[in-house]
A and B are shown apart, each in its own frame.
Chain A
């Protein structure tokens, strides 16, 4: 029949630990066939398009935003449920109204685009309100792949506590990808949205490209065939799951998203899936063991928590040995993603230090980041780093540049979560 998408889960690790070893690392590669193309229409899709119409959007920005939203509506697949929200100090449904989503067809698309054409810019920015309305609209479709796209050009006017309580309330209820335009928005704010709602943050540096970003994000959302999957991770009694991170396509720390299943097992939500491949890096701290002993240090299952359906599973093992040739063998995949996570940390910490006026701290971190980015094939990141920090090619000493373009800083901030794949030549044994 081929109705169900097929998933595979591959575990890559060095299971051997030295006799005093406690940390077990593994990289999990999850691949989905996405199912037969006919199934895409069998999966319900629910999409909310959120357009910032605050006062700062006036002029060319609102024109580009209208165009982008119209393109998003055109990109929706036939039959997908959708709504368009305009966001200011409050949130308003631009289309279809009536507190519900409507299915995309020729007529509803045309009506939506007409309504979008009337959008004008005035008022404040209350991102929490926008998300709350999107959440309410999407919650009428519990079996759908529920997704929102949010664009903004400014910072949130809501109190932090209000904003955060909205994020907490709607975390896991739908996915939201965020776009920032201009240089007045706060990466930290949109990152909070993305972290709570399993989404991404991108910087639309050239405002006229907003339409392309909308199209791509809606296309990706429309290609999802399985909603709401989770990595179900078991670790033995006495062990601790130190972290669970998505590392491909970009870094996303899932550690704090655990939903307990039982004392030894937790679910880590990984959202909706189409035909794609993602990788996860997990680290388990195990109790001490004796040479020769082998344990299952982690049991990974790919599940759909609402139906308990299990799509794939795999073992993370640990075996203690006094053979150093075994225990010191480097798993290249684990090492590579450890490096990518370190690069992200260095950039984030470096930018924070720079914003706080800590020149030495910023210089040290961004300089080291430059070295790592270059070594791991992240040319784009290295190029951006080079606009903030100057590294002497001779002695490697770093120095912060003056008069940095704010857009370069925002771009570096948003691309720091990207990761490069391990190059084939580095995979080794």
Chain B
């Protein structure tokens, strides 16, 4: 075998090339295979910026609630993020804070069977492509918001905490990571939604849009989380489901392809979400795609 940098022969297992001194134990490149990925995430042989774990991720909760996020086909990385947290039914002890980002098989699986409406917190954020480190912004925001909502805080409080988390990432006015925001606390009889920007919520199967984009005529968004917009006010809405159905919370990487689209009518929420992702990718996959599907009212899941 030879050193990926200077091409001098090296012995397998050596930590450093004896000729050029370069480390031989760096992570392997996903494209050329050289053990040469540096701290900035670029391969020091072929140059490729390495895909991150966020390129494609799926999550399924015990009640069937499903989330998928995907890089899409045109973007270098996935700057969307989502969080799904099951909540204990009203009147029971709230899920501890630590459950906010690591959904676990909760005691409320039992609580749900025992009566009381189960609830799910869903948060989707889409990093603003023109801002720096937008992927950090979206993940900080979903974590802070989901944590707050799971602790029983209001939408306004959760939005403020998410905003704080995103603003902390900025090093100056010209370096302000930013993202959109949509959060839902979903129960079979009551769905409350809070948003800023152009990430959306829909009611399925009929595809009713539940949010209104904060978008100017030219297409640019007019509300977001970021240090360059500290006093943004989110919008909220409460929706009463007309019957059993699914709450869809998604980023524009999906909804830009929904015009005329027939939503899947059957299957598990995860299966349906995968089909919707396939549709977005088949339509061009121009942006990151994030889809959260929460079954409400018993016929699903």
**In whole Å, how far is A316's beta carbon from the nearest beta carbon of chain B?**
10
CA distance A82 to B53 in the complex (A): 62
Cβ A293 vs Cβ B48 within 8 A:
yes
Contact with A along B59-77 (1 / 0, CB 8 A): 0000000000001111111
Per the 8 Å Cβ criterion, residues 228-248 of A in contact with B are 234-239
Per the 8 Å Cβ criterion, residues 199-217 of B in contact with A are none
Cβ A315 vs Cβ B48 within 8 A:
no
Chain A residues, Cβ within 8 Å of B77? 294
**In whole Å, how far is B45's beta carbon from the nearest beta carbon of chain A?**
5
CA distance A263 to B72 in the complex (A): 35
Interface of B is mostly: loop
Instruction: From the candidates A234, A235, A236, A292, name the one contacting B75 in the complex (CB within 8 A).
Output: A292
Chain B residues, Cβ within 8 Å of A323? 74
Q: Is B57 an interface position by the 8 A CB rule?
A: no
Contact with A along B30-58 (1 / 0, CB 8 A): 00100000001011111111000000000
Q: Is B229 an interface position by the 8 A CB rule?
A: no
Cβ B7 vs Cβ A297 within 8 A:
no
Chain B residues, Cβ within 8 Å of A321? 74
Chain B residues, Cβ within 8 Å of A315? 40, 42
Instruction: From the candidates A286, A293, A299, name the one contacting B76 in the complex (CB within 8 A).
Output: A293
Instruction: From the candidates B42, B43, B74, name the one contacting A292 in the complex (CB within 8 A).
Output: B74
Given A292-B73, A293-B76, A238 and B49 contact (CB-CB distance below 8 Å): no
- Chain B interface category by residue count: 20 to 34
User: How many residues of chain A are within 8 Å of chain B by beta carbon?
Assistant: 25
CA distance A262 to B49 in the complex (A): 21
**In whole Å, how far is A235's beta carbon from the nearest beta carbon of chain B?**
8
Instruction: From the candidates B20, B47, B72, name the one contacting A295 in the complex (CB within 8 A).
Output: B47
Q: From A265, which residue of chain B is reached at the shortest CB distance?
A: B5
Contact with B along A272-297 (1 / 0, CB 8 A): 00000000000000100001111111
Q: From A15, which residue of chain B is reached at the shortest CB distance?
A: B76
Cβ A262 vs Cβ B5 within 8 A:
yes
Q: From B4, which residue of chain A is reached at the shortest CB distance?
A: A237
Cβ B47 vs Cβ A319 within 8 A:
no
Q: Is B6 an interface position by the 8 A CB rule?
A: yes
Cβ A319 vs Cβ B76 within 8 A:
yes
Interface centre among A295, A297, A318 (most CB of B within 10 A): A295
Given A236-B47, A264-B45, A294 and B76 contact (CB-CB distance below 8 Å): yes
Per the 8 Å Cβ criterion, residues 285-341 of A in contact with B are 286, 291-297, 299, 315, 318-319, 321-323
Chain A residues, Cβ within 8 Å of B20? 262
Closest 7 A-B residue pairs measured CB to CB? Answer: A236-B47, A295-B47, A294-B76, A262-B6, A296-B42, A294-B49, A296-B47
With contacts A263-B7, A293-B76, A296-B43 known, what are 10 further pairs, Cβ within 8 A? A236-B43, A238-B46, A262-B6, A264-B5, A286-B47, A294-B77, A296-B42, A296-B49, A299-B42, A322-B74
Using a CB–CB cutoff of 8 Å, the interface residues on chain A facing chain B are 234-239, 262-265, 286, 291-297, 299, 315, 318-319, 321-323
